[in-house]
Copies of this chain bind each other. A is one copy, B any other.
């Protein structure tokens, strides 16, 4: 295939990469209040670039949380309209001491670019922007289709603002499909489209015992300990094999189709290799009777992410803390309703809370699972574009993660999403030494160029 956009992209790879590094240097950690101005800075960086490459109506839209960035180019009458989505916020980098190079000092090693956000999602955001730039340059200042961008800065903290904005601005965001670049290839060199995501309910159980911190010598044996309250509750939320014990939790779970399950079995997946190189544990855990991909893509789970409170510095302090809490989340699958699950969870935690302890549940984020259809021209064009770049058939996978906005695009805007991502399973998302394999950055840009050119024909 001859593509002037791809030619342009190939001639500008180094510049594209350098620009991405500039974006990666901004520590736009959306969950940490002290980085609020960095998040704004990253939004401005993105808006400035969208303006520079010729997009119109570029706006940095203030929200209750972090800003959204909107832009459009709508001069291709009769052609489809793409809504390009990505996010410019990143996860916190801790534990810092495990990073080989500093998280906000993007560093190349072995053809990989290491930095917090390299692949999740600044690198993939930059693929979208650079593909549009390349298309403009390759098409004499025009684009083969209409394009809208809606970029958010709260993906890592629940995405409340974009959810509200989508509901409020249906007409403005009207499009034929969404391009979502925030997923990964199933394996090296294997073109992949993600067609299903799990939902997420993320909570914090706050437990209170005594009115003040107490000396465990003086009061141990009489004063309630909120850590024990939490441990008693959480130990009963899930059994040792991974089955969630909240009554009715599995009631509405919809299993994948037989065809989908069959296709998953054909994927190049080696459980031993996965265990050893990706997870790195002595055994895998999870519900017996379900293969790994089934467990992580299509079964609901419950995890504890941290238990703030008490004494956590090195050494010993003999305190019975007055308060402690536990960050507990549940991944949901079709057709679990987040509100129904939350209600069942609240009731069960309340029932399990021992005497002497008060528990309260704070909800940090909440979203349903989503499965997108594969029988539409956007998925078809994407598949063809990926074939042109990778010379291989595309596989359809799900992800165990959650991209709540995809559910909103489907339910509120009534448009399908094409989840075209170029991360790799070992890219260390949300972990130290996050990276983006640089050839995949370039292949992502080329794939989007070809995808849009095909839709514009």
A contact residues vs B (CB 8 Å cutoff): 31-33, 91-92, 95, 98, 156-158, 198, 200, 202, 209-225, 227-228, 231-232, 234-235, 238, 240, 242, 274, 278-287, 290, 292, 295-296, 299, 301, 303-321, 324, 327, 329, 331, 354-356, 358, 364-365, 399-402, 425, 428-433
Assembled-state Cα–Cα distance A45/B424 (Å): 61
- Asked if B305 and A218 sit within 8 Å, CB to CB, the answer is no
Select A305's contact among B304, B306, B317, B429, beta carbons within 8 Å: B317
A281 in contact with B215 given A313-B31, A430-B318 (CB within 8 Å): no
Q: Which of B213, B231, B314 is the one whose CB lies under 8 Å from A235? A: B231
| B218 and A400 form a contact (CB under 8 A) | yes
Query: Are A218 and B317 neighbours in the complex by a CB distance under 8 Å?
Result: no
Which residue on B lies nearest to A217, using beta carbons? B401
Question: How far does the Cβ of A338 sit from chain B's closest Cβ, in whole Å?
Answer: 14
* Number of copies of this chain that the complex holds: 2
Instruction: Determine if A221 and B356 form an interchain contact, defined as CB atoms under 8 angstroms apart.
Output: no
CA distance A92 to B318 in the complex (A): 11
Contact of A228 among B304, B365, B425 (CB under 8 A): B304
Q: A281-B223, A310-B327 are in contact. Are A430 and B354 (CB under 8 A)?
A: no
Nearest residue (CB) in B for A297 is B221
Q: Is there an interface contact between B305 and A320, defined as CB atoms closer than 8 Å?
A: yes
Contact B157 A316 (CB under 8 A): yes
Give Cα A327 to B234, complex, Å.
18
The A interface, classified by DSSP as helix, strand, loop or mixed, is loop
What's the minimum C-beta distance from A332 to chain B, rounded to whole angstroms? Answer: 11
Residue on B nearest A328 in the bound complex, by CB? B227
A157 to B227, CA, bound (A): 22
Bound CA span A290–B221, Å: 10
Determine the distance from Cα of A210 to Cα of B305 in the docked complex, in whole angstroms: 14
Chain B residues lying within 8 Å of A358, measured Cβ to Cβ, are 282
Contact A91 to B228, CB < 8 A, known contacts A216-B329, A281-B356, A282-B358: no
A305 to B320, CA, bound (A): 6
Extra 18 A-B pairs, beta carbons < 8 Å, given A157-B316, A218-B401, A303-B318 = A92-B311, A200-B217, A214-B431, A216-B303, A216-B329, A217-B331, A219-B278, A219-B296, A219-B400, A222-B279, A228-B304, A283-B355, A283-B356, A305-B319, A306-B319, A308-B312, A315-B364, A316-B329
Q: Which residues of B contact A274 (CB under 8 A)?
A: 222
Q: In the bound complex, do residue B312 and residue A306 qualify as a contact, i.e. CB atoms below 8 Å apart?
A: yes
Closest to A213 in B: B431
Residues of B within 8 A of A303 (CB): 216, 220, 225, 227-228, 318, 320
What residues on B are CB-neighbors of A433 within 8 Å? 212
Q: Do A224 and B283 touch (CB < 8 A)?
A: yes
B329 and A296 within 8 A (CB)? no
Question: By the criterion CB–CB under 8 Å, are A305 and B216 in contact?
Answer: yes
Do the beta carbons of B296 and A221 come within 8 Å of each other? Answer: yes
Chain B residue at smallest Cβ distance from A280: B211
**Minimal beta-carbon separation of A119 from chain B (angstroms):** 11
Contacts of A235 in B (CB 8 A): 231-232, 235
Shortest CB-to-CB span from A103 to chain B, Å, is 13
A209 to B282, CA, bound (A): 8
In this complex, the member of A281, A327, A365 whose beta carbon has the largest number of chain B beta carbons within 10 angstroms is: A281
Closest beta carbon of chain B to A13's beta carbon, Å = 28
Contact of A356 among B198, B238, B285 (CB under 8 A): B285
Instruction: Pick the residue among B32, B213, B240, B429 that contacts A313 (CB under 8 A).
Output: B32
Cα(A358)–Cα(B310), bound, Å: 23
- Using Cβ atoms and an 8 Å threshold, which residues of chain B touch A428? 212
In the complex the two chains form, what is the Cα distance from A364 to B92 in whole Å? 30
